Structures are given as C-alpha cells and as structure tokens.
Amino acid sequence: MAVNFAKAASAQSVHVLHGRDPYVPKERAEANLMVCWECPDGMFDLEKVRCLDKRCGCDLKRKTRWRTAACPRGHWDNRKNEMTTGTNGEKVNRL
C-alpha cells in the first residue's frame, strides 16, 4: 500500500515539475472525501481515513486533493474540476 501511495505522489510531482497546479480546488477535494465517507463499496477506514482497497490504501485526506489521483473503483473524478470556457470567454470551473 505504501507503494501505491508513492506512485500517486510521484504522479503529483510531475505536475509540479511542469509548473501546473497539482491540487484540485478545495471544493472538489471535499466532495471526493465525502464520497469516500459514504463509499459505496465500504472501503473507507473511518479511524485512519484511508482507503481499504488493495490498489489504493492511501491517506485520503491528502490523496483526495491531488489532481492526478483517482478512486481505484471510479467513485470520484477529478476531471470534473478542469476549467472550461464560459459564455463570455471567461474561465469557469465546472465543479
């Protein structure tokens, strides 16, 4: 499980190296964590705030903030945070 977390952290560092914001907006991170709290598959360890899925095992307080991270079962999707163009050409968060 530590290996999974290290892989996720490594993917995050690539964003940093390329000067991109490695974090999703706070609202999206909170929404991801809420999904975990009510995990449809019962994979949320309430005491440790970790995912019990063997493909993950991560600290969800941190992982839910990372732009490159994903739920191993597809229950949350950080791509929803990507910016899009509004009707007046302004950048709008699709969240």
Binding site for ligand SF4 (CB under 6 A): 35-36, 39, 41, 43-44, 51, 53, 56, 71-73, 75
CA geometry: angle at 18 spanning 75 and 80, to 5°?
25
Please identify, using beta-carbon distances, which residue of 62 and 73 lies nearer to ligand SF4: 73
Please identify, using beta-carbon distances, which residue of 31 and 51 lies nearer to ligand SF4: 51
CB of 80 to ligand SF4, least distance (A): 15
* Helix, strand or coil, per DSSP, at residue 18: coil
Please identify, using beta-carbon distances, which residue of 80 and 86 lies nearer to ligand SF4: 80
Q: Could you give the CA distance from residue 17 to residue 13 in angstroms, rounded to a whole number?
A: 6
CB of 39 to ligand SF4, least distance (A): 3
Q: What is the largest CA-CA distance in the chain?
A: 46
Give the H/E segment covering residue 44.
strand 44-45
CB of 19 to ligand SF4, least distance (A): 28
